[in-house]
Structure 1
Amino acid sequence: MAAPVLQAIEADGTTWDDPSEEQLHDLLADMSLTWRFVVVRRLDAEPADQHFMQVYLNDDLSCQVEYREGGPDRHFQAWVPREHETFAVEPVAEVLQAWAYGRPGWREALPWIPWSPAA
């Protein structure tokens, strides 16, 4: 059996190896103010544990999305505002799915800026 390429981690610590696009969408849709984040790691990239995308649900139901592809100088973030009265997962899910499956366009889909711990 081949080693997994992706691993999704929910806020409660539950992990999913090689999640499907539908499963990634569902993990984001299940986020709440109690279970605020999902991290998806690339297990096939070096250096290990330095290639990921994560989504955090803010108090106002907007999202902070981050990706990292290597060292700290390759860590970026973007904010996705809440567009409706409830959390709309589609724009974030499309970016996460495209990143996870290596499709073009995800970098242009959000206004990425370098990550800063102060932000």
Structure 2
Amino acid sequence: MFESIHGLTPSRAAHLTALVEECLPLLSGDDGMELVQERLRERGAGVLEAILVTRELLGVEEVSLGAAKEIVLTSPARTAEFGRQLHLAETIEDSDDGSASWAGAAVSTAGDDQLMLVATNEAGLRVRKPSKPAMSTMVANLRRGNAFLIVERVSEESDANRYVQVWLRDDNTYQLEYRDGSAAEHYRTRTISQEKAITAVLGWASGDPSWTDAFMWNNIGSQFSGESQQSAD
């Protein structure tokens, strides 16, 4: 176990193996992964260790280090310390053969594509190129104090605003909004279903226009008339 992690000492590998064995039974519950992340935090496991343990629990052949990193960093147990430890998480690097480096170069995500998805929540967590599991987890983790999520398409060549956002209101309904390039194309709806909120975010992120068909949308572009006029000027 953990043989593919370059630079990992035998004692640290044994420690990580013990964590895997302790956390494995927790996965059988409905909130298994959340319980795993909380247990790892209680045991003093850092972000790097939590990422490696999470990947081992889910299957090294099935889950990439990048996906495991997003699961750890978007978990409630880690959100509060995200700002302090993100730079440590970025020292994990996937190699072409699926192995990893414990202290490799920082992963660079900016500039790889002309158009990039970026997900940001109210707690300050910012994930570049988020996976579907990461976005789903970020919506599922919305609560008081972390009630907003916005997923946007960022382009260095365009200043057009294209994003979808979710707000978990005090009445436990989800307010969904999306903007398609200009203030005039800003739409809003609400749902009581967390599952529908997740489906909406993933549908928008996929670029498939049919995702909007599941809702009745109100165009609220008139609320941003001042913004439209400023853009025109």
Bin the TM-score by the shorter chain: 0.7 to 0.9
SS of match in other structure, 1:22 = helix
Contact map agreement 1:47 1:70 (CA 8 A) in 2: no
Q: Distance in 1 between matches of 2:153 and 2:173?
A: 25
Match of 1:13 in 2: 124
Aligned residues: percent identity? Answer: 27
Contact 2:122/2:148 (<8 A) preserved: yes
TM-score, with normalisation over the residues of structure 2? 0.44
Matched with 2:198 is 93
Runs of 4+ in 1 over 6 A off after TM superposition: none
1:60 and 1:35 map into 2 onto residues whose CA distance is 15
Mind listing any 5+ residue stretches in structure 2 that lack a counterpart? Answer: 1-110, 224-233
SS at 2:136's partner residue?
helix
Q: Which has the higher strand share?
A: 1
Q: How many pairs were matched up?
A: 111
Q: CA deviation at 1:89?
A: 2.1
The aligned runs of 1:47-58 (5 Å cut-off) are 47-48=158-159, 50-58=161-169
Q: Secondary structure at the match of 2:159?
A: coil
Which has the higher relative contact order, 1 or 2, with Cα contacts under 8 A spaced 6 or more apart? 1
| Cα distance change on mapping 1:2 and 1:45 into 2, 3 Å | closer
Taking a change above 3 Å as real, the CA distance of residues 8 and 49 of structure 1, as seen in their structure-2 partners, is: farther
* TM-score normalised according to structure 1 size: 0.83
Q: Structure 1: which 5+ residue stretches go unaligned?
A: 82-87
